[in-house]
Amino acid sequence: MSEMPEAMIKINNVSKWYGDFKVLTDCTTSVAKGEVIVVCGPSGSGKSTLIKCVNGLEAFQQGDITVKGISVGDPKTNLPKLRAHVGMVFQHFELFPHMTITDNLSIAQIKVLGRSKDEAHAKTMKLLDRVGLKAHAHKHPGQLSGGQQQRVAIARALCMDPICMLFDEPTSALDPEMVNEVLDVMVQLAKEGMTMMCVTHEMGFARKVSNRVIFMDNGNIVEDATKDDFFGTPRSERAQQFLSKILSH
């Protein structure tokens, strides 16, 4: 990269252990403002753990992560306040099943950001419209399909006006025919300049909108390359194997 844009997320030599088991080893990377990063790798490689460290949902024992200059690992950091500005989308949607779709989107706006009910409702409707689900506003999550639920989950995160978005395998739990409706929303978001870090196996998405691809194996960042380099000439043998398996059919 010729010029170094402002880094939104900086991950510096992060290591994490579960007891004696090392799940992350000296992970270092960064996500610039407006950049879309895809993190891939075999299951158990630590990619989900790494992304959960970014907003402090998982603790790490070594190294440093900053989001817009704020240290995530610092015990003095107000984590809830930081997380309110970092959107996160989960593999299993994690909508609140006891609330309507509208309440799912509004509650944190009201309770965390202190928006008025009217303000929150207007924003909620705007974002539901954006993901094409305005007609389902009054329903409960259980009444929607997986793809619809995940779109709602994305809208819920966007309601908070996040400075960046984390996606943790957002399409892995979906029926195949529902993957695209979710990816479409993500592609649109990427095109609008949202800073995104996405753990995903959707290589089509990576090719289409990502700037860089990170390949992880065994808790290590094995490859951190531009999209073209990654798909063209992956350096590590492990990444080559992974790509040949995932792209062969």
Partner 1 sequence: MFSTFDFSVIVASLPFIWSGLQFTFKLTFVAMTGGIIIGTFLALARLSSIGPLAAAASWYVNIMRSIPLVMVILWFYLVIPLITGKPMGAETSALVTFTAFEAAFFCEIMRAGIQGIPKGQVAAGQAMGFTYSQVMRFVVLPQAFRNMLPVLLTQTIVLFQDTSLVYAIGAKDMLKAAEVAGKNYNRPVEMIIFVAIVYFSLSFALSYVVKRLQKRIAIKR
Q: Which residues bind partner 1 (CB under 8 A)?
A: 52, 55, 57, 79-81, 83-88, 90, 92, 94-98, 107-108, 111-113, 142, 156-157, 160
* Least distance to partner 1, CB of residue 83, Å: 5
Closer of 16 and 52 to partner 1 (Cβ)? 52
* Least distance to partner 1, CB of residue 57, Å: 5
Residue from 166, 165, 212 nearest 1 by CA: 212
Residue 9 neighbours by CB under 8 Å, 6+ apart: 30, 31, 54, 65, 66, 67, 164, 195, 197
Tokens of 27: 């992970």
Residue from 248, 189, 249, 246 nearest 40 by CA: 246
Closer of 112 and 125 to partner 1 (Cβ)? 112
Closer of 36 and 159 to partner 1 (Cβ)? 159
Closer of 142 and 176 to partner 1 (Cβ)? 142
* Least distance to partner 1, CB of residue 72, Å: 13
* Least distance to partner 1, CB of residue 156, Å: 8
Distance between CA atoms of 223 and 8, rounded to whole angstroms? 20
Tally of CA atoms within 13 A in the half-sphere of 124 that contains its CB:
22
Beta strand pairing status for 7-18 and 62-67?
Answer: antiparallel
CB atoms within 10 A of CB 6: 10
* Least distance to partner 1, CB of residue 13, Å: 24
- Name the β-bridge partners of 238: none
Element (H, E) at 141: none
Closer of 32 and 51 to partner 1 (Cβ)? 51
Closer of 86 and 216 to partner 1 (Cβ)? 86
* Least distance to partner 1, CB of residue 227, Å: 27
